Amino acid sequence: MSIHDIKSRVVDAELKYNRPPNSTCLIAVSKLQPDERVVTVIEAGHQEFGENYVQEAAAKWPAWRAKYTNLKLHMLGPLQTNKARQAIELFDCIQSLDRPKLASTIARLAQELGKCPDLFIQVNTGAESQKAGVLVKDLENFIVDCRAKDLPILGLMAIPPVDEEVSLHFALLKKLADNNGLTGLSMGMSDDFEKAISFGATHVRVGSAIFGSRPKRS
């Protein structure tokens, strides 16, 4: 399916669910995709992309940014503190802020570098032991701590459990954001982004539906 097809589906979902026009940011998740597929989407006029690995992004995006204007890059995968400096310099938005140590590191580096990407807090809505993210019970205190560090928290991000109804998790994330005065909601992927829009998603992360299946990481 082409990027234009996915954009049309986003527009249709906004209309169907009474969302404001152009209120949903479509992030094309390009991790592990062959360069030619990504360039095709860039040259089709798309500007918002997501990556999961700092090293992979660093190997390709600086050259593309030098050639194409107004590209915006989102960090979606777990971020190690020892790669935070590189991530701050490379990404416009980090959507995987998930622990106090990382928040402290980003705050220190932001002061040092004089800039900070937009930030989303990743919430582990399913309390899955193998998954990154702040637990729901710890979220309010974590938000307070991040705000005390003057971090630019735009909203919340979640990846629901694969074996549970995603609507429950989308509704929970929306409630958590509302309760904490946050407007950004990054939720929904290739199989469920329209449902996420119905629950108020401001950012949807779509990979395989745009690029096709991705090769396995070597």
Architecture in CATH for domain 3-211? Alpha-Beta Barrel (3.20)
Closest listed residue to residue 133, CA positions, set 176, 91, 190 = 176
Count other Cβ atoms within 10 Å, centred on residue 93.
23
- Of 211, 206, 202, the C-alpha closest to 50 is 206
pTM (2 d.p.): 0.95
d(CA 151, CA 79) in angstroms, rounded, equals 16
| Closest of 76, 89, 1 to residue 31, by C-alpha | 76
Domain boundaries, the chain: 3-211
Neighbouring residues of 17: CB distance < 8 A, sequence distance ≥ 6: 197, 198
Residue type, 54: V
- Would you state the pLDDT for residue 52? 97
Question: If residue 97 lies in a helix (H) or strand (E), which one and from where to where?
Answer: strand 93-97
Give pLDDT < 50 ranges for the chain.
none
Average pLDDT, rounded, for the chain = 96
